[in-house]
Amino acid sequence: MSYDFDLFVIGGGSGGIACARRAAEYGAKVGLAENDRLGGTCVHRGCIPKKLMVYASRFPAQFEEATGYGWSKPESHLNWSQMVRAVNNELDRLNGVYQRMLDKSNVQLFRGYAQFVDSHTVAIGDRKVSADKIIVAVGGRPVKPNNIPGIDLAVVSDDMFNLPEQPKSLVIIGGGYIGVEFACIMQGLGTQVTQIIRADRILRGFDGDLRSTLTEAMEKHGIRIFNNSNQIEIEKTDEGVKVISRSDKEDIAVADAVSLAATGRKPNLENLGLENTGVEIVDGAIAVNEISRTSEPNIYAIGDCTPTMELTPVAIREGRIFADTHFGKKDAKMSYENIPTAVFSTPEAATVGLTEEDAKAKYGDEAIKIYRAKFRPLYHTLSGQDEKTLMKLVVNRDTDKVLGAHMVGEHSGEIMQAIAISLKMGATKADFDATVALHPSSAEEFVTMR
Ligand code: NDP
């Protein structure tokens, strides 16, 4: 049977593009369909604009810090539209970069929405193409909970990058990555932020010490966090959007214009024509095995439309491994162990491996030894800022292996990327101890903890 393409990729986000380019490098004939701008969520509505806004949000604290070093405090205010424009200009540039990358890579780009006609055929508008293998990399989008009356009045993270004006106050519902990151960004930019979470603490699934340390720091920055808040309602009033938590017996806050629902994301699977294939969907995501294969043998899926971790580098790695295996004759396999991740809050939080709670559940309390350091970093000493850095190692007592590393503090994302290499290599606490410290740094605490 001959097909138009060896591989057809649906979705031009980070995962889809990485997969398509790698397969084309091996000589495969590759087509890719994208309905929107190239680069997907990460480039246009996620990681990149978010991180640029994180940088923007940290300047006021730096101005403040500088006074401890003898600088006079500058008179400065944020021009919101200028920031939004600057961020969007960068996204336009990146869109162009992706376009040129694809042009050079012999991947044939189809501009339009792709739908399965059958398991080997995809329609993009009037055009039908066939492919031996098809990979679905359609990503996801924010989802608003349907149990909150008035939730339609809330915006989602996609909207935060293009708000016409900076809100004076903002209520955020949700305590995951997006809720926490936007709480810190907006507070740093000068908006009064209230965060409402239904759990006892932010960042469910993260290490308990990390969650507490970050909560403490966010509250010190002025973010009001309401825990265990259920029965939330949103109302439009003359003053703005009012968010009420019946369980807190008070009107939590009046946001002057905006409340943000940061309550999770879901795969973009509607109108894909998956019903014309044998692809199975479980809990709203495409079910895949350990090699990204769906229940239809020639169809694969990667990234946020599957149940794996919703992280850009995971989607990219899954896509490249798929290409390596099928077109590069390499025997590669995706490993989901020890994937580092950072929450770009202020202060930053980062983690790799097992939390204390998970390690104890897996190996038993007695088998786990915890090393912890909490200190005021040198940077804050002259300004007198009382912000603590937390570093923590979770170690298996029997094997001495470091099972997890957690940090809250400046540059923790950068530091954790390097720590992740050592965990991936199976480093023991003795290996950490044998590493000479780099002084003076915060990171040196990771090799000096006793
Ligand atoms: P998360 O799943 O991380 O968090 C969702 C939050 O919303 C949780 O606090 C959850 O509470 C709460 N929630 C869910 N439903 C309701 C409801 N009905 N009422 C009230 N609260 C509710 O999702 P995000 O949207 O924050 O992020 C999606 C994913 O995107 C992340 O999991 C992450 O993988 C990825 N991401 C990664 C980033 C990074 O790498 N830095 C940055 C941003 C996103 P509870 O905890 O009780 O379930």
Question: Which range (185-194, 208-217, 222-231, 310-319) has the least confidence?
Answer: 222-231
pLDDT digits (tens, 9 = 90+) for 89-123: 999 999 999 999 998 999 999 999 999 999 999 99
pLDDT digits (tens, 9 = 90+) for 267-293: 999 999 999 999 999 999 999 999 999
Domains with residue ranges and CATH for the chain: 5-141+266-326 (3.50.50.60), 151-263 (3.50.50.60), 341-447 (3.30.390.30)
Specify the pLDDT at position 250.
60
Residue type, 115: Q
**DSSP tag of 272:** S
Mutate to test the pocket of ligand 1, among 265, 266, 305, 343 (most ligand atoms within 8 A of CB): 265
Helix or strand or coil: residue 262? Answer: coil
Compute how many other C-beta atoms are within 10 angstroms of the C-beta atom of residue 261.
26
pLDDT digits (tens, 9 = 90+) for 62-94: 999 999 999 999 899 999 999 999 999 999 999
Compute how many other C-beta atoms are within 10 angstroms of the C-beta atom of residue 166.
19
What is the mean pLDDT of the segment spanning 220-230? 92
251 pLDDT more than 60: no
b/e map 428-445, b = 16+ CB within 10 Å: ebeebeeeeeeeeebbeb
By the 8 A CB rule, do 180 and 205 touch? no
Residues with CB under 6 A from ligand 1: 145, 147, 173-179, 181, 197-199, 204, 262-265, 309-311, 341-344
Q: Is the pTM of this model over 0.85?
A: yes
Q: How confident is the model at residue 175 (pLDDT cuts 50, 70, 90)?
A: very high
**DSSP tag of 437:** P
pLDDT digits (tens, 9 = 90+) for 126-149: 999 999 999 999 999 999 999 999
Give the C-alpha separation, 389 to 409, whole Å. Answer: 5
3-class SS shares of the chain: helix, strand, coil, % to 5: 35, 25, 40
Give the C-alpha separation, 236 to 220, whole Å. Answer: 30
257 pLDDT more than 70: no
- Kindly report the protein residue whose alpha carbon is nearest to atom 34 of ligand 1: 310
Give the C-alpha separation, 436 to 269, whole Å. Answer: 50
Ligand 1 atom closest to Cα of 311? 34
Q: CA angle, 95 as apex, 89 and 99 as ends, to 5°?
A: 145
Residue type, 51: K
By the 8 A CB rule, do 375 and 179 touch? no
Q: Is 77 annotated as catalytic?
A: no
